[in-house]
Amino acid sequence: MKLYNLKDHREQVDFETAVKLGLGRQQGLFFPVKLPIIHSDELSEILKMDFITRSTEILSKFIYHEISKSELHKHVKKAFSFKHPIKTKITENIHCFELFHGPTLAFKDFGARFMAQMILLLNKKNESVTILTATSGDTGAAVAHAFYGMKNVRVIILYPKGKISELQEKLFCTLDKNIKTISINGSFDDCQKLVKEAFNDKKLKELIGLNSANSINISRLLAQICYYFEAFSLISEEQRKNLVIAVPCGNFGNLTAGLLSKSLGLPIKSFIACTNSNDTVPRFLKNGVWDAKKTVSTISNAMDISQPNNWTRIEELFHRKKWNLKELRFGSVSDSSTKETLKELFELGYISEPHAAIAYRLLRDQLKKNEFGLFLGTAHPAKFKNIVEKILKNEILLPDELKSRVDLPLLSHNINPVFSKLKKFLLEK
Interface residues with ligand PLP (CB under 6 A)?
106, 108, 137-138, 215, 248-254, 302-303, 355, 378-379
In whole angstroms, what is the distance from residue 130 CA to residue 226 CA? Answer: 27
Largest CA distance in the chain: 60
Residue pair 211/38 in contact (Cβ under 8 Å)? The answer is no
137/417 with CB nearer ligand PLP:
137
Q: How far is the CB of 165 from ligand PLP (least distance, A)?
A: 10
Q: How far is the CB of 12 from ligand PLP (least distance, A)?
A: 25
Residue pair 148/177 in contact (Cβ under 8 Å)? The answer is yes
6/305 with CB nearer ligand PLP:
305
Q: How far is the CB of 253 from ligand PLP (least distance, A)?
A: 3
Q: How far is the CB of 249 from ligand PLP (least distance, A)?
A: 4
Q: How far is the CB of 107 from ligand PLP (least distance, A)?
A: 7
Number of helices (H), then strands (E), belonging to the chain: the values are: 19, 14
From its phi and psi, is residue 28 left (phi > 0), alpha (psi between -120 and 50) or beta?
beta
Q: How far is the CB of 109 from ligand PLP (least distance, A)?
A: 10
Residue 72: HSE in the Cβ half-sphere, 13 Å Cα cutoff: 21
In whole angstroms, what is the distance from residue 177 CA to residue 293 CA? Answer: 38
For the chain, state the CA radius of gyration: 20
**Closest to 248 in 3D by CA, of 349, 338, 118, 150:** 338
Instruction: Give the ranges where 82-183 is alpha helix by DSSP (H).
Output: 108-122, 138-147, 166-172
75/108 with CB nearer ligand PLP:
108
160/248 with CB nearer ligand PLP:
248
122/273 with CB nearer ligand PLP:
273
In whole angstroms, what is the distance from residue 313 CA to residue 309 CA? Answer: 8
Treating both helix axes as pointing N-terminal to C-terminal, what angle do 51-63 and 40-48 enclose, rounded to 10 degrees?
A: 140
For residue 335, which amino acid is it?
Answer: D
Residue pair 23/42 in contact (Cβ under 8 Å)? The answer is no
367/379 with CB nearer ligand PLP:
379
123/224 with CB nearer ligand PLP:
224
* Cβ burial 78-109 (10 Å sphere, 16+ → b, else e): ebbeeebbeeeebeebbbbbbbbbbbbbbbbb
Indicate the SS3 state at residue 156.
Answer: strand
Q: How far is the CB of 259 from ligand PLP (least distance, A)?
A: 12
Q: How far is the CB of 235 from ligand PLP (least distance, A)?
A: 22
131/208 with CB nearer ligand PLP:
131
**Closest to 224 in 3D by CA, of 282, 172, 264, 270:** 264
- Provide the terminal-to-terminal Cα distance of the chain, rounded to the nearest Å: 35
Q: How far is the CB of 275 from ligand PLP (least distance, A)?
A: 9
Q: How far is the CB of 355 from ligand PLP (least distance, A)?
A: 4
User: With 0-12 CB in 10 A as exposed, 13-18 as middle and 19+ as buried, what is 37?
Assistant: exposed
372/384 with CB nearer ligand PLP:
384
In whole angstroms, what is the distance from residue 384 CA to residue 389 CA? Answer: 8
For residue 134, which amino acid is it?
Answer: A
Length in residues, the chain: 429
251/295 with CB nearer ligand PLP:
251
Q: How far is the CB of 228 from ligand PLP (least distance, A)?
A: 13
211/254 with CB nearer ligand PLP:
254
